[in-house]
C-alpha cells in the first residue's frame, strides 16, 4: 500500500527517514491484516502499535525542532497533537464497538502520512539542511533518538 522512496519522502535526516519508513511499514501491516481478514483484534493491535510508535516519532521530531529553534515548531506540534487525538478517539470507538478498522481508515492514514511528510516535515528538513554534515548535529540526533527509544518501555509518552 505504501512504498518508501527517498525522492518522494526523505527529509534529509537519516534517523527521521528511518522512523518514517517504520510508519509506512505499520500502515502496510494494517493493510495486510484487513486484506487477509485477520480480524478486528489483529487490526487493532497493529493500529495501537502504530499509535505508540507515532507518539515516539512525534516526540523526537518535536525535540529536534525545539532544540534547533525551528520557526514552525508550534504549528507542527499542533498537527501532531490533532492526529494523536483523532487516533485515540478512533481506538476508543473501536473498543466500544462503535467503529471498525476499514480501508477508509487506511486511506486516511496513508494520505495524512504522505501529505505530512511531503509538506510539513520537509519544511524542517530544509531548515536543518543548513547543518549539512556537521558531526555535532549528527551525534545529537543519534543521542536523542536513542534516549527516546530507551524511554519507550516506561510509556513516557502517555502525557498526550
**Residue 33 located in a structural domain:** yes
**Residue 6 located in a structural domain:** no
Tens of pLDDT, residue by residue, the chain (160 residues):
899 999 999 998 888 999 999 999 999 999 999 889 888 888 889 999 999 999 999 999 998 888 888 899 999 999 999 999 998 888 899 889 888 888 888 899 999 999 999 999 999 998 888 765 555 556 666 666 666 566 555 554 443 3
Q: What is the pLDDT of residue 128?
A: 83
**Residue 78 located in a structural domain:** yes
Q: What is the pLDDT of residue 101?
A: 85
Q: Give CA–CA dist 116/160, Å, rounded.
A: 20
Q: How far lies 123's CA from each of 12, 46, 142, in Å?
A: 11, 29, 21
**Residue 59 located in a structural domain:** yes
**Residue 30 located in a structural domain:** yes
**Residue 94 located in a structural domain:** yes
**Residue 38 located in a structural domain:** yes
Q: Which three cell numbers stand for residue 88?
A: 485515540
Q: Give CA–CA dist 129/81, Å, rounded.
A: 25
**Residue 143 located in a structural domain:** yes
The answer to whether the predicted template modeling score (pTM) of the entire model surpasses 0.95 is no
**Domain that includes residue 137, residue range:** 13-152
Q: Give CA–CA dist 38/70, Å, rounded.
A: 42
Q: What is the pLDDT of residue 43?
A: 87
Q: What is the pLDDT of residue 17?
A: 94
Q: What is the pLDDT of residue 147?
A: 60
CATH number at residue 60: 1.20.120.50
Domains of the chain: total: 1
Amino acid at each position: 500500500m505504501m512504498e518508501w522512496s527517498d525522492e518522494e519522502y526523505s527529509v534529509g535526516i537519516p534517523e527521521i527517514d528511518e522512523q518514517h519508513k517504520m510508519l509506512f511499514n505499520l500502515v502496510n501491516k494494517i493493510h495486510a491484516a484487513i486484506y487477509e481478514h485477520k480480524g478486528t483484534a489483529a487490526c487493532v493491535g497493529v493500529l495501537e502499535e502504530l499509535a505508540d510508535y507515532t507518539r515516539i516519532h512525534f516526540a523526537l521530531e518535536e525535540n529536534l525542532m525545539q532544540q534547533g529553534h525551528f520557526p514552525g515548531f508550534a504549528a507542527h506540534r499542533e498537527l501532531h497533537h490533532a492526529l494523536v487525538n483523532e487516533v485515540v478517539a478512533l481506538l476508543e470507538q473501536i473498543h466500544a464497538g462503535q467503529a471498525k478498522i476499514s480501508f477508509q481508515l487506511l486511506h486516511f492514514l496513508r494520505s495524512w502520512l504522505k501529505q505530512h511528510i511531503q509538506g510539513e516535515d520537509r519544511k524542517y528538513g530544509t531548515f536543518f539542511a543548513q547543518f549539512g554534515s556537521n558531526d555535532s548535529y549528527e551525534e545529537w540526533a543519534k543521542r536523542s533518538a536513542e534516549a527516546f527509544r530507551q524511554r519507550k518501555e516506561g510509556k513516557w509518552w502517555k502525557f498526550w
